[in-house]
């Protein structure tokens, strides 16, 4: 792929041209020249967009696309297209499908479905067979097939010995174990945060204690095994404190937070709108503030959209019975920029790569082009017209956002809106 990007401001601290507005010449998928006012003698496609900025390609460590089994919610092909339109050049695909992705063949299948795409798909294999929490899945085989981590998506591992064995076994091949932070015997049938609003609304509560107990348990096991652990989607202030203390002890742990848990509290639940039904649930303002502070001081390593398309039949029903989940790829950049500076937003969208073994490339001459194109200043109200996903279950509908992605250039391909 050949292209000439005109008048783009580079946001990449590892680039020799950081904060400069330049032209970028890409030939055969590689950056061949960066300078001001480059000529285009070979008549390559020129990309000139309003207030154009570029950065290293963004990465999301937790997305679900449905396929195989839930193609009515989302397919891999359209999911990757949506990710590209939203500025992501790489995504970690959860084993949130039927059949569950828990074998070498399953990993090979999803990789084949994603082949020859601008957006790279990094499969996350199930930690246990069928994600049932009973027996470990084929972790080593899946690693050889290309799995970058192992996670029973939103299913907690109740057996502490199983978690111990998983961390010990995966250490033999530097495998990354992910553990969903919820003690199910405490959370019970809770569907929202256990607090004042759950009582007012008459909805069963899922207390912060359920998350914090599970995290505390896993950190004790991690310290014992000296393994490698990632805890996805923190949602409480105490959880941040637990991770901060673990990192002070130099435990090999990372964590993420879902962008919607930074943006909304359980105060939005008064209309019983199932768009806001997610797991972990939306918490309090105090929790939001602690999560944001955790990102600022580096306690929390990365953000995720936790993108989870749900079909209307399973979303537009009584709150107790609706499935958890919101899509989030399309709104991610604009939502983060409501909270952080552009520089910090870009850092949050790129710094999770190393943990999941995702390739990185700075915006410098000679590097492969792995670039996100965006306008950080456009303000707009997020609507269904902004959604590329098959499912439309976004809790950001109607929200005022700041910043839009134009698309990506990666893997010798280009995806633009």
pLDDT tens digits for range 125-145: 999 999 999 999 999 999 999
Question: How confident is the model over 106-121, as pLDDT tens digits?
Answer: 999 999 999 999 999 9
Domain range summary for the chain, segments of one domain joined by +: 3-53+364-416, 57-356
User: Could you report the per-residue pLDDT of 53-67, keeping only the tens digit for each?
Assistant: 999 999 999 999 999
Strand partners, 247: none
pLDDT at 190 (0 to 100):
97
Determine whether 306 is an active site residue: yes
CB 230 within 8 A of CB 254: yes
Asked: is 3-53+364-416 a CATH 2.30.40.10 domain? The reply is yes
CATH architecture of the domain with range 57-356? Alpha-Beta Barrel (3.20)
- 66-90 pLDDT, tens digit per residue, is 999 999 999 999 999 999 999 999 9
Residue 56 buriedness (CB in 10 A; 0-12 / 13-18 / 19+): buried
CA–chain centroid gap for 183, Å, is: 23
| pLDDT tens profile 155-208 | 999 999 999 999 999 999 999 999 999 999 999 999 999 999 999 999 999 999
The active-site residue out of 106, 218, 301, 306 is 306
Give the residue from 178, 188, 126, 132 showing the smallest Cα distance to 320: 188
- pTM over the 0.95 mark: yes
Per-residue pLDDT band for 231 (boundaries 50, 70, 90) equals very high
What pLDDT, on the 0 to 100 scale, is given for residue 41?
83
Distance separating alpha carbons of residues 247 and 252, to the nearest angstrom: 8
The model's pLDDT over 18-51, given as tens digits with 9 standing for 90+, comes to 999 999 999 999 999 999 999 998 999 999 999 9
**Which residue(s) pair with 46 in the sheet?**
4
């Amino acid at each position: 792929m050949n292209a000439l990007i005109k008048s783009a401001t580079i946001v990449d601290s590892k680039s020799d041209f950081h904060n400069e507005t330049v032209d970028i010449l890409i030939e055969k998928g590689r950056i061949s020249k960066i300078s001001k006012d480059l000529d285009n003698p070979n008549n390559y496609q020129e990309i000139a967009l309003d207030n154009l900025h570029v950065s290293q390609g963004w990465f999301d460590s937790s997305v679900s696309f449905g396929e195989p089994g839930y193609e009515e919610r989302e397919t891999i092909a359209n999911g990757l297209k949506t990710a590209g339109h939203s500025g992501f050049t790489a995504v970690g695909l959860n084993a949130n499908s039927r059949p569950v992705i828990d074998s070498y063949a399953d990993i090979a299948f999803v990789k084949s479905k994603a082949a020859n795409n601008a957006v790279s798909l990094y499969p996350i294999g199930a930690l246990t067979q069928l994600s049932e929490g009973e027996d470990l899945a084929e972790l080593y085989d899946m690693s050889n097939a290309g799995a970058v981590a192992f996670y029973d998506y939103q299913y907690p591992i109740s057996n502490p010995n199983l978690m111990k064995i998983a961390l010990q076994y995966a250490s033999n091949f530097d495998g990354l174990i992910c553990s969903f932070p919820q003690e199910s015997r405490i959370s019970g049938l809770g569907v929202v945060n256990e607090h004042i609003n759950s009582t007012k609304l008459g909805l069963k509560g899922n207390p912060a204690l359920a998350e914090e107990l599970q995290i505390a348990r896993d950190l004790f096991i991690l310290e014992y095994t000296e393994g490698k652990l990632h805890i996805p989607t923190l949602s409480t202030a105490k959880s941040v404190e637990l991770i901060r203390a673990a990192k002070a002890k130099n435990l090999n742990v990372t964590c993420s937070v879902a962008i919607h848990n930074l943006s909304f509290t359980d105060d939005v639940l008064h209309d019983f709108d199932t768009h806001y039904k997610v797991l972990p649930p939306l918490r309090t303002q105090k929790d939001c503030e602690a999560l944001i502070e955790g990102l600022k001081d580096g306690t929390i390593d990365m953000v995720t959209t936790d993108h989870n398309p749900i079909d209307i039949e399973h979303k537009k029903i009584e709150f107790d019975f609706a499935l958890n989940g919101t899509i989030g790829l399309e709104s991610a950049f604009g939502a983060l920029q409501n909270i952080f500076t552009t520089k910090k937003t870009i850092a949050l969208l790129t710094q999770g790569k190393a943990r999941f073994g995702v390739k990185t490339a700075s915006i410098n001459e000679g590097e492969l082009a792995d670039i996100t194109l965006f306008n950080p200043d456009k303000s707009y109200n997020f609507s269904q017209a902004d959604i590329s996903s098959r499912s439309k279950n976004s809790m950001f509908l109607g929200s005022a956002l700041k910043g839009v992605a134009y698309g990506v250039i990666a893997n010798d391909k280009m995806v633009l809106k």
